[in-house]
Each structure stands twice: as structure tokens, then as C-alpha cells.
Amino acid sequence: MCGIVGYIGNRKAYDILIKGLHRLEYRGYDSAGVALVARDGKINIFKTKGKVENLEAFCADKDLGACTGIAHTRWATHGEPSDTNAHPHYSEDGNIAIVHNGTIENYKVLKDALIQHGCKFHSETDTEVLVQLIEYIRISNKCSLFSAVRQALKQVVGAYAIAVVAKDKPDTIIAARQSSPLVIGIGDNEYFLASDATPFVEYTKECVYLKDGEIAEIKQGESLRITDLDNEESEIDVTTLQMSISQLEKGGYPHFMLKEIFEQPDTLRDCIRGRVVDRGHRIIINGVSDNREVFKNAKRIVIVACGTSWHAALLGRYLIQDMCRIPVVVEYASEFRYSNPVINKDDVVIAISQSGETADTLAAVQIAKEAGAFVFGISNVVGSSIPRETYAGCYIHVGPEIGVASTKAFTGQVMVLTLLSLAVAQLRGTMTDDQIAQVGKCVLKIPTYVKRVLETLNDKIERLSLTYTYARNFLYLGRGYSYPVALEGALKLKEISYIHAEGYPAAEMKHGPIALIDQEMPTVIIAPKGHVYEKIVSNVQQVKARGGNILAIVTDGDTEISKIADHVLEVPEMPECLTPIITSVPLQLLSYYIAINKGKDVDMPRNLAKSVTVE
């Protein structure tokens, strides 16, 4: 939710800020803006509604010469997307400017107090309140910018990552964070600032992740100064990034989403690497082996997540219950946090989040920690909040996911949950060595099988998508391991093509949704071979008997469903517990091509943002 970029050094700040905003556009694209601070003490602010490309067009004939600047791409929370509500916001005297990611919960109280002191407001945003408060404190207390920001933040309730610049401080940016991410890149006599490290990875690999409650003075030519809000100096922890620039580009694909779908053979290989050893006989998840007693004695596992990650969590329930015989509860993080959850000390709570920054999931982590549970994180973004806030965890290692609709992160999450289940089963003795080796060997084949699915089905799905593009509603059905896949397939379709789609457990269909079935509404059925195969054949027949049009995902060589369905997509045979990774890939392609046929922006679907750092 909202992306922030900052630069201070000897280069043209505007170029770095715009490139950085493009990389952060996945965080929101309702409006964009920059504030450029010239050495002669002038702040130029340019901002427009819409995407970063609109801002570039708007800036084409403007004075862009400055070596210090801050920039923002917005996902609207307070106030509609508009030029006025776009960031940066500035104080009434025009002396300071701010960009902000997060929400200031007590902004109304602060605003009323500032109005009493004569402040006038131009936008509907909470951010304008903060910048006016900072300037009010700076003038009334005659203090430094750093001190004014610190004092202002002590009055703020809510979440923020901010960057502040001032006319009379052209060599300084003040940055601070609470619950929204912010990272400072350290270059050679230059500093970068961003919501994640992608805007500066080609300039420096050295960076410092700000922690909650920290405030930084970033001054060209001087060492970083970081304190907490009580002005106590913090230790500066420099991290070296592992990310490469090629991971952030489209690499010849028309969209990040398609690139990320096709990357899955490699990302799954990276995810498995070093974790399945002795040709599949042994599974190593360090976060499990380092906490053997916790996983051995766990009485229950609670998994919390949102969106696609919640679908991966549902698969986690099937995997863990099947393999480890531990009861598993899966909760939406947003519901968990307000449901007065009953958490015991011998529960393990697993939080799953691609970004590692989702506000609801992070809040669920805190609640679980307070209740005394052991909290384990599964994330993609190294150094993000959830890995930092959990006691142990596991990265999915799929590389930056830029397309807003999650694809490779989902399969990475499911893979990690599969490996975690095998590792815990090994530890608790709930599977024999032979059973583990059987699954372990197949896990090693998954990257090759996913590659085969992509090679054999891509063109077919592209052609088939034309048949389905103009449907207005879709039903996705699956049973057992294929039920969460149905939910995820439906979510992918609605996110990027804006077609209404419902995922359902196939047997539940007859308790209501069957009323919807007619020739106009396609049903996508996920039906690989498995212990509920015969049951789903009956469900396929029930749909067909009502005149429904069926697209089925089946195992190679399937004859039964192929006879009934209108179209089939065949995937390689796998042990049932591994089918979700294979069957979800054709569904990703289907939604991609339908959205393309409809002319939609698949990488930046309307109203969405990738990192949801607000409640």
C-alpha cells in the first residue's frame, strides 16, 4: 500500500525516483508525485492522479534539476484518488514536504487541534495533517527538522513509513517507520530510501532496514543517524542484498505475471534446493530442525494468512493433517485478530505472507506471541516484518514477485508447506521412511513437471481462453487438495479479468450454487486422480446434467471425465498431496489469457495493491 522512494547524492534525483516508483507501482497506482529539493532552497512538487507514466508526462516540461528528492505512488485510503490528495503533501508555508505510507488513526483529533491554531488544509488526507503538525512543532519549538518529526510522531497513533524534506535542508531526508516498511540504501556519498530495496538494487547492495519506532537522519556526506522516538541512538545493522536487477525486469515477456508463471520451474527448484536431500529420503527445514521439541510436542497448528496466502494455508491444513496427524485450524488473519482467539502455549502458529508486510497477518503474529504460542513465519521477502517478528521460519525463495496477482509465490508457499509437513512427519514418526522417500522423490520432479505443463498447455489454454472470455460468471470446483486450488483459480480470474468467479468444494455445489448452472456459466473442475476422484466424477455429471459447460483439469490419460467435460487440460500424474502445485499452473494461465483477451492491465489490476499494509 503506497510506495516511497527517496534519494540524496550527486545524481539527478528525478531519474532515480521515477525508476524507483515504477518498481514500487505494485504497491498502489492511484496517483504519483515527487518533491525535488534544489540546493538553492527551492522545493518543486509535481503530482498527478493515475500511474507513474502520467506523472512522467506531466513532468516532461518541468524544472527537474535537483539531487535530493522524495517520491510516492499511492493506494488511496483517506480521500479519493485525485491530484490534490496525491503525495507529496506540504506544509502551508511550503517549507517542508512529506510522503507517507500507512494510516494515521488519530488524524482527525490532530487536524482539529491544528485548525484551532490557524492551519488550513487542502486535501482530505491524513498525511497532510502530519506534515502540518511537523512544521507547526518546528516553528513553535524552534527545533531542528529531525526533532520536529520525532516530536510529531510521538503524537501519532497508527502506521507510517515517511520521508520528509525541507527547503532549508537540501542535503537531508528524515525518514521514520511504524508498521510500514522502509529501507535505506547506502551508496558511495549517496543514500537511497524506499519501501523495499528494489528501487536501488542496481546502485548499492548495502542497506539498513528501519525498525518499528525508529527515525533516521539521512544526510549526504555524513554517517546515518538512527534513534528511537525518545532520541535513544539505535544500533545500525547493515544488510547485504542478495537480489539481482534481472529479477526485476520482464526478461522478454509482455507482463510480469506471465514471466512469473513461466519462472515457476526455476523458482520451485530454488525453493526445494538444499531442503530435499539423499535423493528424497530426507527433508531439511532449518526452522523445524532448530525447534525439534516445539514441533514434536505441538498439540495444534493454527495458520493465519490473507488472500492467496490463505489459500496456501488451506492446503497446509490438508498436508499437515495428512502427514503429521496434528489438528490444524486455518484463519483469515483479519478475522483471527478480532476473534478473541483461544491460543495455547503448545500451539504452533504459522503466519504466511508473500510480502511479509501484510498488516492483518502481522497483527495476528503479535497476538499469537502475546498468547505464548510458538510463531513460525513463511515469507518471500527477506528482511520483511513477518520474518523479523516470528521466532523461526522459512523463506520460499521465489525471487521478487511484481505482478499484483500472486502466482509463483503461491506455488512456493505450497511447496514450503509440503516440505514442512514432511519434515515434521519425519520428526514425529507419522510417516515411514519409505513413505517420506516416495513423496520426497516426486517433490524433486515437480520443477520438471511444471515445465512440462507450461510447454504442453500454454498454447492450448491461450486458444481455449477465447471460448471463455465473455462469460460473466464462473464456478470453480474441487475436492480435498483440489478445493483450495479451486478457490485460488477463482480468485486469480476475478482479480485480473474482473469476471465474477466462485470457488466451491465440489460436493457443496448441490447445496445451493447448482442453481446457478446453465449454459452461460462455465464450470472449471479440478479433478486429478486421487482418493476422491470417483466422487468428483459424479459432481461433473451433475453439472453436465444441468447443461453446464465444463473445463476440467485432469491427470494425463484420464478417460472418464474427458468423456463428459467440454474441454480438458491434462497434467502429469503425481501423488495426491503434490497435485495442487501442478493443477494451479493451468488456472494461472487461463486467468492470464482471459484478462489479456479483455484488454485488462494484468500486472496492475484496478483497485488492488500487492502489499496490503493497512487494515
Q: Would you name the residues annotated as active-site residues? A: 2, 610
**Shortest CB 41 distance to ligand F6R, Å:** 41
The answer to the question of residue 307 lying near ligand F6R (CB under 6 A) is: yes
Q: Which amino acid is at 212?
A: D
Find the angle CA(259)-CA(260)-CA(261) to the nearest 5 degrees: 95
In the region spanning residues 141 to 170, those forming contacts with ligand F6R, defined by CB under 6 A, are none
* Cα–Cα nearest to 420, from 266, 269, 573, 313: 313
Q: How far is the CB of 528 from ligand F6R (least distance, A)?
A: 22
Which residue of 417, 514, 596, 612 would you call a contact of ligand F6R, by CB under 6 A? 612
As measured in angstroms, the least distance from the Cβ of 157 to ligand F6R is 23
Pick out residues in 478-517 that bind ligand F6R (CB under 6 A).
491, 495
If the CB atoms of residues 187 and 287 are measured against ligand F6R, the closer one turns out to be: 287
First vs last C-alpha separation in the chain: 11
- The residue of the chain with the least Cβ separation from ligand F6R equals 307
For β-strands 392-395 and 473-478, DSSP reports them as unpaired
- Secondary structure letter of residue 391 according to DSSP: S
Whether 382 contacts 367, CB under 8 Å: no
Nearer to ligand F6R among residue 313 and residue 568 (C-beta): 313
Rounded to 5 degrees, what are φ and ψ at 184? -110, 125
Answer for which of 361, 426, 555, 584 binds ligand F6R (CB under 6 A) is 361
Cα 76 from Cα 95, distance rounded (Å): 25
Number of alpha carbons in the 13 Å side-chain half-sphere of residue 508 = 12
Residue 57 to residue 451: CA distance in whole angstroms = 40
Question: Does residue number 308 form part of the binding site for ligand F6R (CB under 6 A)?
Answer: yes
Of the two residues 405 and 475, which places its CB atom closer to ligand F6R in the complex?
405
d(CA 442, CA 57): 52
Among 291, 354, 583, 613, indicate the residue that binds ligand F6R (CB under 6 A).
354
Told to check if 179 binds ligand F6R by CB under 6 A, we report no
Least distance (Å) from ligand F6R to the CB of residue 282? Answer: 29
Q: Does 73 interact with ligand F6R (rule: CB under 6 A)? A: no
Spacing of C-alpha 604 from chain mean position: 13
Instruction: Name which of 149 and 589 has its Cβ closer to ligand F6R.
Output: 589
Cβ-based neighbours of 57, under 8 Å, separated by 6 or more: none
Nearer to ligand F6R (CB atom), residue 361 or residue 583: 361
For 374, other C-beta atoms within 10 Å of its C-beta total: 22
Binding segment toward ligand F6R, per CB under 6 A, in 79-87, 353-361, 416-424, 542-550: 353-361
Q: Are 195 and 207 in contact (CB under 8 A)?
A: no
* Interhelix angle 482-497/307-324, nearest 10 degrees: 170
Contact call for residue 110 and ligand F6R (CB under 6 A) = no
| Residue 263 binding ligand F6R, by CB under 6 A | no
Find the binder of ligand F6R among 355, 465, 549, 584 (CB under 6 A): 355
Residues lying near ligand F6R in the complex (CB under 6 A):
306-309, 353-355, 358, 361, 405-406, 491, 495, 612
